[in-house]
Structure 1
Amino acid sequence: MALPTCDPKANPVKSFIAGGFGGICSVLTGYPLDTIKVRLQTMPLPVAGQPPKYKGIIDCAVKTFSHEGVRGFYKGISAPLIGVTPIYAVDFAVYAAGKRLFQSDEHVKLTYSQIFIAGAGAGVCSALVTVPSDRIKVLLQTQPVTGPVMYNGLIDTALKLYRQGGIRSLFKGTCACVLRDSPTGVYFVIYEALQDLARRHSKTGSITPTSTIFAGGMAGIAFWSLAVPFDVLKSRLQSAPEGTYQHGIRSVFKELMAKEGPKALYRGVLPILIRAFPSTAAVFIGVELANDLLTF
């Protein structure tokens, strides 16, 4: 997994394939914690005198396992698995295209400002691809265990959403998703900076799987530390019945502040940050591996 000290000219097609593979690695690694995160973010306020539905990450995990078994942690995984290839593929392809705009030849070393701009553009574009699969995933993760089943998998959920509100229903939460993914520029800057540091301290001037795991994991933690409040708002909006929030994310934010206060913006932060390191490390391990195997 060796990289030269100068950036090779970015290849969007190669990055498209590598990004898709990296995304699949990420979903398989981090999905159980994603389910816990969404359930903590979307649980209703307890009735006065009653305990909350989940007391925290451990309680949520125990209740999920006891009521639903291991499969409960993977509810809705088909949506991100099917959607993740284009999402991460677009993310890394747009990032490569953005880098390419700044590269006049193979030996141009990009500045971190240029990396940030390319990464920010990638985040916005990938967010637009993310919305439908995120919407379906959240609904499948949060539907009640008891009572009639409202959604039976990916296709059934997509069809019911389309019948209820057309394309707009599938893309509910687009603004929130774009805001959540806006720190992607930071994500790529942290990764590239830590890999540059690893190269400088390497005898061969190359990165290693260890440095990729560390750089990818830390990039994920940095990204999610900034993105959590928007992710909470997105999950609340996407899991709500049609017509609940007339003004989208603004209505969610107003209600959240009035009823629960600022601390609610960080509900589910622990499983997010625990998941961030391994799942993002898996993305970059997958991307670097694919880049090594792809020879064009």
Structure 2
Amino acid sequence: MSDALINGLAGAGGGIIAQLITYPLQTVNTRQQTERDPKKTRRKVGALEQMCQVVKQEGWERLYGGLTPSLVGTAASQGVYYYFYQIFRSRAEVTALDRWRKGVGDGSVGMLSSLVVAALAGCVNVLLTNPIWVVVTRMQVQEVYDEAGVWGFWKGVFPTLIMVSNPSIQFMLYETLLKKLKGRRTTSKKGNDGVTALEIFLLGAVAKLGATVVTYPVLVVKARLQAKQVTGGDKMLHYKGTLDAIMKMINHEGFSGFYKGMSTKIVQSVFAAAILFMVKEELVKGARMLVTRNASLIKVARSKPP
């Protein structure tokens, strides 16, 4: 089993677990992002209060509405992302070592290279999995098709491609912090560069926090485009494209419209990312141990005389 496949499967597993734990917050956040109330007639409510309202008015099951397609989307997205990330990362590491042998650099992948690797993996991921996420947001395949045809499944792909910067920044911060932590451990008296599950959890949380704060406005635009478009009535509720959505949001809601539900998203995404990183790394460690053990057993079996 290749290292890329191990990371892909581990990423899918970690993503599913993180999604199951944080899905109610994600449901509330999607509602906050797609809510359009330019006259501000409704009283603002927090995430917890909104969750209680959903349970009271619509039942517990609404907090998990669309969970199945979302789990499929998460598994596919994280699996594809980590698979290609590991492929691009391995090539970047080989290039860094070659440069080091030639007297350039220290042999490790730098911040810029980490950013490029994450961006490339993110672009591949978006192009392959965007149709799944459109369906997750809408939960009705037929509605998407009836409204905009086949191309409707790629609605919001432009801001989604821009959102590649989110995991790119996240992984750049994560790899940089991890490298510094391991370096500090290596230079200590113990000389051990191992990282605990709790440390992975915290590093993942910090990295996701930084990425979310920077890219949140683009995420709101993407959610608006992928949500069901309002036909008839007020034209401000219908978006023709990314630029049209941005201009209408500025004109009718002000810049605050780009930050709707940000506090909820920070809690949900930071917690989910921390869980994902921790679970994924533990699954990778376990898988590598199994592969190594099986390889050793096969080697021993072959070395025995018949």
The two structures have a TM-score, normalised by structure 2, of: 0.80
What is the aligned-residue identity percentage?
Answer: 21
Cα distance in 2 for residues equivalent to 1:165 and 1:185: 30
CA contact (8 A) 1:98 1:117 kept: no
Q: Deviations over 1:82-136 (max 9, x none)?
A: 1212211111112112112223389752122211110111122222234223222
Q: Deviations over 1:228-259 (max 9, x none)?
A: 1011101111113277322x111110100000
Alignment of 1:78-227 (within 5 A): 78-104=68-94, 108-140=107-139, 157-202=140-185, 203=190, 204-227=192-215
Cα drift, residue 27 of structure 1 = 1.1
Distance 2:214 2:96 in 1: 33
CA–CA distance in 2 between the matches of 1:183 and 1:83?
Answer: 18
1:51 paired to 2:42:
yes
| Matched length | 268
The equivalent residue for 1:291 is: 284
Aligned counterpart, 1:11: 3
Gaps of 5+ in 1: 1-9, 141-156
Q: Which runs of 5+ in 2 are unaligned?
A: 98-106, 232-237, 292-306
Q: Kindly tell me: are residues 47 and 194 of structure 1, through their superposed partners in 2, closer, same or farther at Cα, counting changes over 3 Å?
A: closer
Q: 2:216 is matched with which residue: 205, 223, 228? A: 228
Question: Is residue 51 of structure 2 the alignment partner of residue 61 of structure 1?
Answer: yes
Q: Give the structure, 1 or 2, with the largest relative contact order (CA under 8 Å, sep 6 or more).
A: 1
Following superposition, the deviation at residue 193 of structure 1 comes to 2.0
Match of 1:6 in 2: none
Q: Shift of the alpha carbon at 1:217?
A: 0.9
Aligned counterparts of 1:193 and 1:66: Cα–Cα separation in 2: 45
What is the RMSD computed on CA atoms of the aligned residues? 2.3
Counterpart-to-counterpart distance in 2, 1:105 and 1:177: 29
Residue type of the partner of 1:217? A
Structure 1 position 239 matched with structure 2 position 227: yes
Q: What SS does the aligned partner of 2:94 have?
A: coil
- Using the TM superposition, name which of 122-131 and 286-295 deviates more: 122-131
CA shift digits 1:31-85 (9 cap, x unpaired): 111111111111121667x424x53323322211211232221111112201212
CA distance in 2 between counterparts of 1:259 and 1:242 reads 16
With normalisation by structure 1, the TM-score equals: 0.83
| Matched-pair contact (CA < 8 Å) for 1:122–1:184 | no
Deviation at 1:172, TM superposition (A): 1.1
Change in Cα spacing, 1:59 to 1:46, as seen in structure 2 (3 Å) is farther
The answer to whether the 8 A contact 1:198-1:211 is kept is no
1:159-217 Cα shifts (integer Å, max 9, x gaps): 33234433211221111211122232211111112222332444421010111000111
Q: Is the deviation greater in 81-90 or in 58-67?
A: 58-67
What amino acid does structure 2 have at the position aligned with 1:112?
Answer: M
Following the alignment from structure 2 to structure 1, what is the Cα–Cα distance between the partners of residues 213 and 122? Answer: 16
* Equivalent residue, structure 1, for 2:300: none
1: CA distance between counterparts of 2:171 and 2:47?
Answer: 28
